[in-house]
Structure 1
Amino acid sequence: MTGFPGFLGSALLPRILQRTGGEAVCLVQRRFLAAANRRLAELDSDDPSLRQRIRIIEGDITQPGLGIDRDVLAEVTEAWHLAAVYDLTIDRETALRVNVTGTTNMLNALERCTSLSRLHYFSTCYVSGRYAGPFSEEELEVGAPFNNFYEETKHLAEAEVRQRMSAGMPATIYRPSIVVGDSRTGETQKFDGPYFVMQWLLRQPRKAVLPVVGDPAMARVNLVPRDFVVDAVAYLSGQSSSAGRTYHVADPHPLTVAELISVLAEATGRDVVSIPLPRRLAKASIRHVPGIYRLLRMPAEAVDYFAHPTYYLTEHIREDLAGSGIEAPPFPSYVDRLVAFMRAHPDLGSAAMY
């Protein structure tokens, strides 16, 4: 597994081991080794048997051969590739190196795994770019412009995975939408996406002002809690029918921006006055008008997701989860727990791991 001790990888790993009954090797960059060992100690406190089944080794997906001995991969039967730059503001060179070259290096290394039964690859719904309309789980090349280098390079990386799949590599692709905290506890690893709006509202008095871009009655924001992503992927990964499939791990009924604002207003106890603003002007103001970024504390790149024109279809995942009892909970059913966790952890940042 790559991407441990990240937000999703940390929660997925015990579930994978529970299903397989095997052992895991986690490939971790040197600078994250201490964090990985701390996370392993936390997992061990929940289930002492895990420490004997998880091995952390130093490596680097940006290096040919992943920077590890070839012998490490000799007995690998399942591979999980979650490591990526999850940062909307990242520069293109870094995004290419981690997301594209890193994925290619991983795929090349897996070609040597003679016992490989499946690669589980984490992509993102936003490989669609700014495609206007419904985007299916089969689609990838739709010719739409990208919001940022994160989207572009995740698109390129998924294209590489699909090329290897067409050449015979067994794989499943998971495309989460915007992942927020746990729907039961509110726990999250960083505050970004809708949290920027929640924080902005909480910094204001009861009568709060909120700039709104695009058409809030039409644009939708697709949010899913971490526990749904983990539950869905843990289940699907154990099904033989999921081989060769791509899944939008997304809410089939996402809220419009207008509905989201109403829900966030109630959850934060604010009366919100929406101020319409052109998307380009809003982004330019954050980038160039002195004091605006310090006031909003939201990167300009996040604005695009509140005027996003794509609607993500979820036929594959709904079909293959049918009968499992696993489904995306409605955002209003757990938003209070997200707000409570955010209030209780004011020092948690928005920085990504890479």
Structure 2
Amino acid sequence: MYIFMTGGTGFLGGRLAKELIQRGHRVCMLARTPEKVQTQFTAEEQKSIDVLPGDLTSHALGANEAFIETHRGKIDLFLHMAALVKFDEELRDELFETNLTGTKEALRLTKLIDCRRFFHVSTAYTLGAKEVGGETLYDVSQSFLNPYEESKAHAEQAVWESRDELDVSIFRPAIIVGDSKTGEADSKFTMYGYMRALELFKRKLERRGHDFESIRLIGSATGTSNLVPVDYVADVLLAAIEHAKAGTIYNVTNDAPPKNETMLDYMKESLAFPHLTITETPTSTLSSIEQSFNDMVKVFNPYLNRDITFRDDNTKQLLQDAGFAPLHLDQKSLRRIVNAYYKAK
């Protein structure tokens, strides 16, 4: 199979590309910096990779007429994975340009090269403020917790509106973390960015010689962190290549997510920062040091105050059809995922 990929040099995309090549597929990869392909893939793997130098926000991702003519009718699947994952409100325009405009340009190129199948990798958090996530399209007029979620919801809408012209499937991973078996991780990804903030704050306190017993983090101790290891997300996408259904949405989520308090305990142990506690104490009671700490990690706060239930019946059926095992994360795997932070630095 000949597969076009965006995001092929990213954490998830790079892993998936290697798996695809190993299984005998050929990949055409969008790359803003083509040199990254040479550094991330072996010489042998590069024999199965074609590169389109381009950019998500360019017309048809930067593909010229020669590329379009050469590849028309040749691509079996268009796999759109690239996205900007930032939560800051001041990045709203950039998030919409990358995540929404980029998706529209990916759809444009898919149609220009007469590729019928389009997979869109989104996020489970397009559900906005809901506490139950279904495998259905969400209303883009609802409230969202940050512009990242909102931009991805609008991108899903654009994909869904193309389902009469293309066989579209949408995949919604929750919080992607390191490999559950090897600990391989990307330090820029979600939970590891949070751990980086914790480590920087700890060093700041140590440099200033603060004598402290406890630092309170505002959040729900009984809330859950819906973590999905990168190997599980890759397995779902591999299963989807042969078994995904058109016009279907797949939540790539965790049925038994760990509690925030549990994950914080693992992080405290890994970072040697035992002074952290998670509490729902009102912010007015925080010390100046605690307030500074909470301000530092405030973009992550919406994910520390919830206990979301995600429905993933479509994904379970997909994995069963393809003969893949369901997700299982035990305490050992969770600790390995947290400790991967130091390997990824």
TM-score surpassing 0.5? yes
**What is the TM-score of this pair, normalised by structure 2?**
0.82
Q: Report the equivalent of 1:248.
A: 251
Matches within 5 A, 1:1-354: 1-19=5-23, 21-29=24-32, 32-41=33-42, 44=43, 48=44, 50-72=45-67, 73-74=71-72, 75-89=74-88, 91-114=91-114, 116-131=115-130, 133-141=131-139, 144-165=142-163, 167-195=164-192, 198=195, 200=198, 203=202, 209-217=214-222, 219-239=223-243, 241-265=244-268, 274-277=277-280, 281=283, 298-308=296-306, 310-322=308-320, 324-330=323-329, 332-345=331-344, 348=345
Cα distance in 2 for partners of 1:35, 1:56 equals 11
Structure 1 residue 88 displacement after superposition: 1.7
| Residue 275 of structure 1: how far off its partner (Å) | 5.0
* Counterpart secondary structure, 1:261: helix
Counterpart contact for 1:5–1:35, Cα < 8 Å: yes
- TM-aligned CA distance change 1:314 to 1:298, over 3 Å: farther
Q: CA deviation at 1:13?
A: 1.1
CA offsets, 1:20-44, max 9 Å, x none?
x442211111xx3222221123xx4
Q: Judging changes above 3 Å, is the alpha-carbon distance between structure 1 residues 335 and 98 closer, same or farther for their aligned structure 2 residues?
A: same
Is 2:221–2:279's contact at 8 Å kept on the other side of the alignment? no
Contact in 2 for aligned 1:221/1:257 (Cα 8 Å): yes
In 2, the alpha carbon distance for the partners of 1:143 and 1:258 equals 33
Structure 1 residue 254 displacement after superposition: 1.1
Q: C-alpha separation between the residues in 1 aligned to 2:107 and 2:148?
A: 20
Structure 2 residues without counterparts, runs of 5 or longer: 207-211
Partner of 1:351: none
CA 255–290 in structure 1, closer or farther in 2 if over 3 Å, else same: closer
- Counterparts of 1:197 and 1:69, CA distance in 2: 40
After superposition, give the CA deviation of every residue in 1:237-286 in whole Å (9 maximum; x if it has no partner).
221x533221111111112323433454566676566252468x49xx9x
CA drift of 1:292 comes to: 5.9
Q: Which amino acid aligns with 1:2?
A: T
The structure with higher relative contact order (CA 8 Å, sep 6+) is 1
**Deviation for aligned residue 1:118:** 1.4
CA shift in 2, pair 1:215/1:291, >3 Å: closer
- Deviation track 1:85-104 (CA, whole Å, cap 9, x = no partner) reads 11122611111111111111
For residue 255 of structure 1, give the secondary structure of its aligned residue in structure 2. coil
Q: For residues 295-323 of structure 1, what are the alpha-carbon distances to aligned partners after superposition, in whole Å with 9 as ceiling and x for unaligned? A: 57954211111113532111111122126
Unaligned 5+ segments in structure 1 are 349-354
SS in 2 for 1:221: coil
CA 192–101 in structure 1, closer or farther in 2 if over 3 Å, else same: closer
Contact residue 228 and residue 326 of structure 1 kept, 8 A:
no
- How many residues of Structure 1 are paired with residues of Structure 2 in the alignment? 325
Task: Say which SS state the counterpart of residue 169 (structure 2) adopts.
Answer: strand
Letter in 2 for 1:215: S
In the alignment, the residues of structure 2 paired with residue 320 and residue 183 of structure 1 have an alpha-carbon distance, to the nearest angstrom, of 21
Q: Is the 8 A contact 1:268 1:339 kept in 2?
A: no
The one-letter code matched in structure 1 to 2:256 is H
TM superposition shift of 1:225: 0.8
> Does the Cα contact within 8 Å between 1:208 and 1:272 map onto a contact in 2?
yes
CA displacement at 1:227 relative to structure 2 = 0.8
Label 1:91 to 1:216 Cα distance change in 2 as closer, same or farther (>3 A). Answer: same
**Alpha-carbon distance, 1:161 to partner:** 0.2
SS in structure 2 at match of 1:194: helix
Deviation at 1:215, TM superposition (A): 3.4
TM, length-normalised to structure 1: 0.80
SS at match of 2:162: helix
Q: 1:52 to 1:238 in 2, by over 3 A?
A: same
AA aligned to 1:104 is K
Q: CA deviation at 1:81?
A: 0.6
Q: Partner of 1:330: helix, strand, or coil?
A: coil
